[in-house]
Amino acid sequence: MHACLKLFSVSNMRLFALFCMTVMVAGMTVTARADVVDDAELWFNDISTMKANFIQVASDGSSAIGEIHLRRPYQMKIIYDLDEPLILQTTRIWLHVDRPEEQTLTSYPISETPLSLLLKKQVRLRSKDFSTRTHTANGVISIVLSKETGEAAGELTLEFTEQPFELRKWTIRDAADISTTVTLQNMRFGHSYENKFFATPDYTN
């Protein structure tokens, strides 16, 4: 499987492995700031559209760059800068893996990736289905969501800067202990997308 497909963590497929490990860092303190989670939820829920460049690094040493386009809710398009084009695209139900040169489209349930939490109409970072904890160190706030078993098992870590409070990085660790980190750069908000930009390609004709 292509290393770039580790961007989201799909159970037993190692697809989209974007999220987090529990890392013990010297000087890191555990906080009880429940408002940090509230602030993160508000940050996501206030977004209508966002686009950004990204750098992706996996635990096997592979890396990639590209662009992320988000139109909440449900719609995300990740375009990799590769010799062979690769696009990951979400809808309310599906995660599509699009290989334009091969004209192939492979689809997986979006519920199998932890990133589905961030694409919902109302983002909720607390649930009876997973545990939530926070850490703060050197001006970086980490929110760690963990699920031991079942659909979308693994860990998702969201890293926010304190000033300004803004998402800068996420890491996924999947059930197979594969981790991938995505760092966002040059984030822009409020872009107006045409509907066709998020349209699912049809290669049947």
Q: Residues 6 or more apart from 35 whose CB is under 8 A from it?
A: none
CA-to-CA distance for 104 and 30, rounded, in angstroms?
45
> Smallest Cα–Cα separation from 50: which of 181, 200, 201, 186?
186
Architecture of domain 3-192 in CATH?
Clam (2.50)
Greatest distance between any 2 Cα atoms in the chain: 58
Per-residue pLDDT, 152: 67
pTM for this predicted structure: 0.80
| Residue 45: strand, helix, or coil | helix
Exposure string over 166-190, b if 16+ CB within 10 A, otherwise e: ebbbbbbbbbeebbbbbbbeebeee
Please report, for the chain, the start and end positions of each structural domain, with discontinuous segments joined by +.
Answer: 3-192
10-residue block means of pLDDT along the chain (205 residues)?
A: 44 36 29 72 95 95 94 96 94 95 94 85 93 93 88 86 93 86 96 95 86
